[in-house]
Chains A and B, each alone.
Chain A
């Protein structure tokens, strides 16, 4: 199946710093990527939809100035958590839609575990 990678897989940072997470589709083009957040024993919550070449669409309650999304190419989207705080500690997962697949299934990256001290 299609492969989506995320980097880094785990990051520990101090409060107030910014963290960038990369999501790459390795063997297909993805015009649309999605960023999710999952807290322990909770469901995945969609944060934003990342569209190649245009602005991301954020879900209600997600601060766009805090979670910066850039989707500059058909294989890469980045999520930057700015001025991270301990409450931002979570499991961040991206998914990518295979633009030409049938059906256009979403493939998930392995996730990035963020811990803010």
Chain B
């Protein structure tokens, strides 16, 4: 089983709609999680950090379900500019801090259509 798994998509979303997708992680002891956004042929950029049950930033909401070992990302009122690949990232527990070695999921592609 992979450390971090994501549905590759693509999720085709009409503009203005809501889209949500999950990321499962294998190590139950993981404490912190991150969602990154990656545009085609570009570097990943941090979207949101999740340290407890969840986090909300504007139209983006991340939820953590420890019992089922998954993190979700929900995007409300989707914009065309939200089209991207969303990477779920879980720090390796081989290090003692949250920002050490990062384990990346393969990403979920979201395509927002007019």
Contacts and interface: CB of A to CB of B under 8 A. Distances in A.
A104 B97 contact: yes
A91 B85 CA distance: 16
A113 B102 contact: no
B41 interface: yes
B45 A106 contact: no
Interface stretch (B13-21, B53-61, B70-78, B103-111): B103-111
Given A91-B41, A93-B43, A110-B42, A43 B101 contact: no
Contacts of A106: 99, 102
Contact count band on B: 20 to 34
B98 to A, nearest CB: 7
Interface of B is mostly: loop
Interface in B2-52: 4, 8, 41-46, 49
Given A44-B87, A106-B99, A111 B105 contact: no
A108 B98 CA distance: 16
B41 A103 contact: no
A104 B99 contact: yes
Interface of B: 4, 8, 41-46, 49, 87, 97-99, 101-107
A49 interface: yes
Contact count band on A: 20 to 34
B37 to A, nearest CB: 11
Interface string A45-59: 110010000000000
A103 B98 contact: yes
Interface of A: 34, 36, 41-46, 49, 91, 93, 97, 103-106, 108-111, 113
Contacts of B42: 110-111
A65 B103 CA distance: 24
Contacts of A42: 106
Contacts of B107: 43
Contacts of B99: 97, 103-106
Nearest to B45: A108
